[in-house]
Structure 1
Amino acid sequence: MPFTLAIVEDDPVIRAGWVKIINRSSGYRCVSDYGSAEAALVGLIKNPPDFVLMDINLPGKSGIECTRELKRRVPKIEIVMLTMFDDRDNLFDALRAGATGYLLKRTTPAALLEALNQLKGGGSPMSPQIARQVVQFFRQHEPAAASVAGGVEKLSARESEILRCLAEGRHYKEIADQLQLSMDTVRTYIRRTYEKLHVHSRTEAVVKYLGH
């Protein structure tokens, strides 16, 4: 069965474009789309999909407010934020609200599909510029990062290398190309890395990497 998605985006042209990209992709199907947070809350609480692509700047309730409410009502739903800007305040507000990933709207169709594959594999997709913001934040707050560190020393040389690439914001395909590995092999290494670090997302893994 394909993984199901919903899109929350107030611009009908952009929304239609995302719907088309998803429905043309093997393994994914867009089952609903909404132009406001209010409409999304009604529909998604009643019929939650596997994943949601959520615009931040919506009329009325913001995408962050919508995310917070959805995660409260449907905890298992996975939400990826879409935004035009990479400002830090929105980034961390969205992550605190329960977002699993954070992508810029200028993300290419190929990068969007890679992000969905990361979600499917239990990852936390972020545009490279966004991942860099996370890295910079934790470098500036090293004592706090160190408090959750641990387990990095258990990683193999290859796992440590891949973790470093994740911390640099590289996509899975970039990692595979750089290390001359298959995508499946990269995903296997990442899954093992998450297991050893006792984390469930790229963000958590990067925190431990920076704090070790």
Structure 2
Amino acid sequence: MTTADDDVDAPAMESALSGGLVALLAQHPEPDAPLVAELVRSVCDVDHVALVDIDADVCSVLAASGPDLLTVGTNSPVAVSSRLVAVAAGRVWSSADLRGESGFDRPIDQLALTLGFRAGAGVPLVVRGRTVGAVLLSCTESGRDWSPVVAAITSSTGLLAAALGFGRGPGEPLRVAVVHPDLLVAHGLARIVERGLPAQVDVASGGWDPRLDEIVANADVIVTGSGVDWTAPSDRLVIVHDELGARSGNTVYRDEAPATLVAAVARASGAAGSAPPAASGPALTARESSLLRELAAGRPYKEIAARLRLSPATVRSYSRGLYAKLGVHSRGEAVAKASRNGLL
């Protein structure tokens, strides 16, 4: 059993948990909470793991691994446990010594001490800004440093949510959009996601695909190439880079995609928060937003056409449509109004 005196390789624990969950999802596309509980217990090296579903102030035990603490199938108010109270509010809870923990005296707290548990933690699973469940962990030895475990579970929230079926209705798949100018690459990325996650994947050929707006609007996660120039919610994006180098956000290197893309998509599915407040003024399509940025940069139509791989006549036609939607008559007016309305 790992204690505070042991040398814990946190990155290795994170890699083992995410890798194990990816392999489990590939073999068991339907939710399998008992297998997830066993995997978490083994990787995190603890005596007991409980996976719980949380709905407001009520929790339900989905699975457990180790000595009985919370009976599987039990429904109870979160108020019976200090850990449940914290995780239901979206907070991580941990203690290296439960016996010395102030206020650790609720019914489930007392049961944990009676069963011989001396250290414990609770990590919320947050999907789209809402706490939908939690991982509860316990050890029979005190002095446990929980930071590597918390980091591993937090980084794997999306994968855990997918493996437990959190965040979507019965039979409802994760919806993923792959947007890439190279259709061969796009379909290759789509197959990787489909093999690793219970997902419905739609493919669009770059930022100017006529179906793009519909595909993106219906997607939980968008996988896109680093060279695609269009607007999308950053918390739902996974960016695939062709060359190893500088990266930002949730990104993968294309040659590493078979091993890393599934985990990146799962991270995005768990990290995506609630939709941001809508900007005032008319809603713009992805194409119109891209064009607006080019116009705001002061580029001439010919250069914009080359950058967007369109003819100058098409760019002018799109511009007229954009001006009409904004209720303006010139580039300057369009940029000014878009800036005022938060569209730039």
- What's the TM-score, normalizing by structure 2? 0.22
Q: Which has the higher helix share?
A: 1
Pair member with larger Rg: 2
